[in-house]
Amino acid sequence: MAPDIPQNSPQAKVLAHKAEIEAAMACVLASGRYILGEEVAAFEREFAAFLDVRHAVGVASGTDAIHIALRDLGVGSGNLVATVSHTAVATVAATELAGTVPLLVDIEPETYTMDPASLETVMSRKVKAVIPVNLYGHPAALASILKIAESYGAAVIEDCAQSHGAKFDGRATGTWGRVGAFSFYPTKNLGALGDGGGVVTSDTELAAKIRSLREYGWRERYVSSEAGLNSRLDEMQAAILRVKLRYLEGENARRREIASWYGELLAGLPLTMPTVAEPGTHVFHQYVVRTARRDALREHLRQSGIGALIHYPVPVHLQPAYRDRVMRAESLAATEAAAREVLSLPMYPELRRD
């Protein structure tokens, strides 16, 4: 039985903008153009402007966004890519699509994002790229991570699947590294009604290569100048995203308001509450609390009709498919502790205080 209060509600987001979404979809149906048409081009312009970055390129998923970003930067077969183990497995799966070897580092226990000190310990292994994950809507320590990566000549690709509109030191996530990778999965702060992703950069040459790679390596139609793939954001999803983008800042503000309610109403309970570390701006894709009695708390909530999820129950380095294939930092203690204790409470803009 579905909970009375779900942990997330993509349908609520649709119903909030139902008339505009249906009108946008009708326009696409009437246009006769369904792949890489004006809706995609318009969304790319609007999303780039929202982030204050020169180029945005729509692709088929957030996984593809990371994969294409790695290919774009020439990071491939056998190269080491440093990222975190406390993330959706898509981050690591994408690195393997590019033929690279994942090298997993630990997290900061307060923000659950990449620990620069842990990253520093592995960089001498000739890491080619670093992928910090702006997890739960909170930016990683981007300035420190960039400084470390640049000192070793490694490229930085931000995984922004959960940080649409988040900022670090007043600057949007996705714009700190050479490339930023976004997911538009329906549950995201900016979500489509199916899969979708985007790659952003201010480097015009990199953007041109991304556009080529997403469609068979074409620069001229039907002529592949390089080996590419089929990874295109479709017109219908782009039209829906254009509608939802107009409300993203307001909905992120609402998420922060809901987070403040949680902070007020749960004060005094034996829970570790989310941290907002300066100079970051949190957009609360998830509201994550922490307790040693996590499983009992989740069951209590379930019995009360309240949905709660675990993001994420098994670190990537301990998952059956990856534990014998990935490399890792000497210690991932903070990662393993978080996996035992974190719990994501309901969080979506349509929640009411009552």
pLDDT in tens, 185-225: 999 999 999 999 999 999 999 999 999 999 999 998 999 99
- Average model confidence (pLDDT) for the chain? 97
Contact 193, 237 (CB under 8 A): yes
Query: Residue 1's pLDDT is what?
Result: 66
Count of CB atoms within 10 A of residue 168's CB?
23
Report the phi/psi class of residue 165: left, alpha or beta, with left for phi > 0 and alpha for psi in -120 to 50. left
CB 289 within 8 Å of CB 272: yes
What is the bridge-based pairing of β-strands 155-159 and 179-183?
parallel
192 and 186 in contact (C-beta within 8 Å)?
yes
pTM of the model: 0.97
Say how far apart CA 302 and CA 345 lie, in whole Å: 11
Hey, which residues does 343 pair with through a beta bridge?
289
Yes or no: is domain 1-354 CATH 3.40.640.10? yes
Residue 303: alpha-carbon gap to chain centroid: 31
Distance CA 68, CA 49 (A): 21
Query: Mean per-residue pLDDT for 41-57?
Result: 98
159 contacts 91 by C-beta, under 8 angstroms: yes
Under DSSP, is residue 309 helix (H, G, I), strand (E, B) or coil? strand
Q: What is the pLDDT of residue 2?
A: 76
CA distance 300 to 3: 12
pLDDT value at residue 319: 97
Residues 52-67 have pLDDT tens digits of 999 999 999 999 999 9
Query: Any idea where the domains of the chain sit in the sequence?
Result: 1-354
Report residue 260 as tokens: 């403040």
**Measuring CA to CA, which residue among 173, 166, 181 is closest to residue 68?**
181
Q: What is the pLDDT of residue 3?
A: 84
